[in-house]
Amino acid sequence: MFNIFRKKSKQDAKLFYTTDVHSHILPGVDHGSQSVDESLEMLRAQLDMGITRVMCTSHVTAETFENTPETLTAAFNVLKKAIEEEGLPIEIYVSAEYRIDEYWNSEYEAGHVLPMPGNHVLLENSFVQELIGIDNMMFDLQVKGYRPILAHPERYRYYHDRRDRYKTLHNASVKFQVNILSLAGYFGGGARDRAVWLIQNNLCDMLGSDMHNMEHAEIIKDYIGSRDWHKLCEKYNLERRIINDKEFAPFLGQ
Ligand SMILES: [Fe+2]
């Protein structure tokens, strides 16, 4: 019998934007997806949530994942072919999540940067301490024509008592991307509270899945079906304020 009070299933929960700016969906290049099949499963989960464009931002970090534009592009081409064979209605774009470290410094100096459409570059701070000179580097990136996006600012504990640093970086035209996983509480109460604080203070420009696996996908699906998410969207008018689609639309041929 038809039930108007039917609880929304996970399949019904859709995001209000269609572009995911942070994901680890490329197979076999970091500790995200480990196979093409796993990547396809993650992409189907993205489609379920209303995402039709995915920025593939695999890790580029010293010692652990010293990827290059060539290694990332090779994995991208394999996944792109599989998407076409499966007929999935989703577009992927190859880029990276660059950890600001000595490997980044040498790759950047050598010009080995793989930006997203529109020259956006997703950068990750160290989780231990803030890099000295990060402000100059963000400035230099912009002088060279890049648009820096700071990945999950809510996750850097050393900023929790230094909220002035958030404002300084954001005032210097660095876009901030908050993880939905953080809002869902996946990284603990501190990161969650800081994520909400960033939203409250107009310091959250974009949202990202930072999806590494299907466990992450399921957590995000559950969360965007929750009352908590809907209240947050409504209270802070996220649909109007989050620029995932607006920021990339001019560069994606639409
Ligand atoms: Fe990430």
Which CATH number covers residue 89? Answer: 3.20.20.140
Q: How many angstroms separate the alpha carbon of residue 10 from the centre of ligand 1?
A: 23
Q: What average pLDDT does the structure give for the chain?
A: 94
The pLDDT-based confidence of 4 (bands split at 50, 70, 90) is very low
Q: How many angstroms separate the alpha carbon of residue 151 from the centre of ligand 1?
A: 7
Q: How many angstroms separate the alpha carbon of residue 3 from the centre of ligand 1?
A: 40
Is residue 6 included in any domain, yes or no?
Answer: no
Is residue 49 included in any domain, yes or no?
Answer: yes
Q: How many angstroms separate the alpha carbon of residue 133 from the centre of ligand 1?
A: 22
Q: How many angstroms separate the alpha carbon of residue 74 from the centre of ligand 1?
A: 19
pLDDT score at 6: 45
Q: How many angstroms separate the alpha carbon of residue 152 from the centre of ligand 1?
A: 8
Is residue 147 included in any domain, yes or no?
Answer: yes
**H or E element: which one contains 124?**
strand 120-124
pLDDT score at 131: 83
* Higher local confidence (pLDDT), 96 or 131: 96
Is residue 25 included in any domain, yes or no?
Answer: yes
Percent of the chain with pLDDT over 70: 95
Span 145-174, mean pLDDT? 94
Span 31-59, mean pLDDT? 98
Nearest to 33 by CA among 184, 213, 175, 163: 213
Is residue 135 included in any domain, yes or no?
Answer: yes
Q: How many angstroms separate the alpha carbon of residue 182 from the centre of ligand 1?
A: 12
Asked whether the beta carbons of 46 and 209 are under 8 A apart, the reply is yes
Q: How many angstroms separate the alpha carbon of residue 58 from the centre of ligand 1?
A: 7
Is residue 210 included in any domain, yes or no?
Answer: yes
Q: How many angstroms separate the alpha carbon of residue 210 from the centre of ligand 1?
A: 5
| Full domain range(s) for residue 65 | 12-251
Q: Where are the alpha helices (DSSP H) in 110-226?
A: 134-143, 163-171, 180-183, 189-200, 214-223
Q: How many angstroms separate the alpha carbon of residue 44 from the centre of ligand 1?
A: 19
- Helices and strands in the chain: count of H runs, count of E runs: 11, 7
Span 218-231, mean pLDDT? 97
pLDDT score at 211: 98
- Say what angle helices 214-223 and 36-48 make with each other, to 10 degrees: 10
The pLDDT tens digits for 111-137 are 999 999 999 999 999 898 888 889 999
Q: How many angstroms separate the alpha carbon of residue 91 from the centre of ligand 1?
A: 19
Span 17-39, mean pLDDT? 98
Task: Report the Cα–Cα distance between both ends of the chain, in Å, rounded.
Answer: 43
State how far the Cα of 76 lies from the Cα of 86, in Å rounded to an integer: 15
Query: How many domains does the chain divide into?
Result: 1
State how far the Cα of 17 lies from the Cα of 49, in Å rounded to an integer: 9
Is residue 70 included in any domain, yes or no?
Answer: yes
Is residue 142 included in any domain, yes or no?
Answer: yes
Q: How many angstroms separate the alpha carbon of residue 242 from the centre of ligand 1?
A: 19
Q: How many angstroms separate the alpha carbon of residue 7 from the centre of ligand 1?
A: 32
Asked whether the beta carbons of 179 and 208 are under 8 A apart, the reply is yes
Q: How many angstroms separate the alpha carbon of residue 22 from the centre of ligand 1?
A: 6
Structure tokens at 137: 């580097």
State how far the Cα of 98 lies from the Cα of 130, in Å rounded to an integer: 15
